[in-house]
Amino acid sequence: MPQNLSYISFLRIFATLAVVLIHASTGYLNSPFIDSFDWKYANSLHSFTRLAVPIFVMISGALLIPKEESPMVFYRKRLLPILPIFLFWTGVYLVYMLSRYTSLSDYSYVQLWAIIGPKLRIGTNAHLWYLYLLVGLYLAIPYLHKLVKGCSKVDLELFLGIWFISLFFHNKRWSPHMPIIDLGFFTGYFGYLVLGYYLMAYDIGLNIKRGISSRWSVVMVLLLLYLATAIFTTLGTYYLSIQKHGLDALLYGYTAPNTALSAAAIFLIFKYTFQHVKVPRILSYVNTYSFGIYLSHILFLNYIHPLLPLSTLWKIPVATLLTVLASILLTALLHKIPFGKQLAG
């Protein structure tokens, strides 16, 4: 990767670690004891890291929308390689689910299919929903390329403005209070693709003449924006959950407006901070194997987390790091066997 795009690698590392951290802390949010330290701690971690999946999508937009490839060439080079990965990990987690949570001898074939069928539609493990999302995004990217190519900076800003407004219209909780306007063209994860391309292509908020002083001033403003949205999510989720007497995940949504703001802020913070910084070798493994880490980490996390004799304060980050290390080792090993790289991700 060119040195001036090395920040993309840092973003990928950050998002990978954030996803594992989210999953390492999710269980605590199922507790009814909302005022407990464990719940509040997990809520805070989630609120600061919910931007992980949007960051992944933005990276795809930044790197793939500029590709000068016909739809068929794009699909052959980038969509088809996802299919063996999709099938492999669907099979792995199907076996994992059946061996860990069911006893095959207790079920008929009809009963097993009643369990397996719905899982195949949405993912044999919860985190595999991202593969289904990825297929849809990759189908759209060659056409987004053609649309974006004909857009000026102002055109893209107008599109992103409408997309941001659409996030309110298409939220199930807020839509009953909104006018019935069909903003389907603008809404959802496709906006993150365009946002990633836009933030990569343009230096937002920088005064070139002022140089470094301008850059660090912008970074500080962006950092304040990120902190403000994360704190808003933390406090808002706590308040909503108190009212509900259980977790209310409204503000955790990947397409929630607060998540979109925090994702945009982090993208630019990394761009302006790490644009010319080389990725340290110890972190380069996370960057290289990020997709494999995402796909495999649940296999390790579900065993590592319960075994750690630590308080929650330390258990979540230690479980995250150990899980990432184990996932790196597995992915690296799979990459070394014939056709392993095509399956591992």
- Cβ–Cβ contacts within 10 Å for residue 124, how many? 19
Token pair, residue 157, equals 């800003």
CB 138 within 8 A of CB 82: yes
Percentage of residues of the chain with pLDDT beyond 90: 77
Q: Tell me: the pLDDT tens digits for 262-272?
A: 999 999 999 99
pLDDT at 108 exceeding the cut of 80:
no
The reported pLDDT for the residue numbered 212 is 59
pLDDT at 3 exceeding the cut of 70:
no
Sorting pLDDT into bands at 50, 70 and 90, what band is 23? very high
Q: How far is CA 153 from CA 51, 56, 140, 150, 281, in A?
A: 24, 23, 21, 10, 36
Percentage of residues of the chain with pLDDT beyond 70: 96
Return the closest-CA partner of residue 23 out of 327, 244, 271. Answer: 327
Compute the distance between CA of residue 164 and CA of residue 256 in angstroms, rounded to an integer.
Answer: 9
Q: Tell me: the pLDDT tens digits for 286-329?
A: 999 999 999 999 999 999 999 999 999 999 999 999 999 999 99
CA atoms within 13 A on the CB side of 148: 25
The reported pLDDT for the residue numbered 27 is 95
* Mean predicted confidence (pLDDT) in 207-234: 85
Compute the distance between CA of residue 285 and CA of residue 339 in angstroms, rounded to an integer.
Answer: 20
Provide the mean pLDDT of the chain.
Answer: 92
Q: How far is CA 242 from CA 246, 258, 300, in A?
A: 7, 20, 32
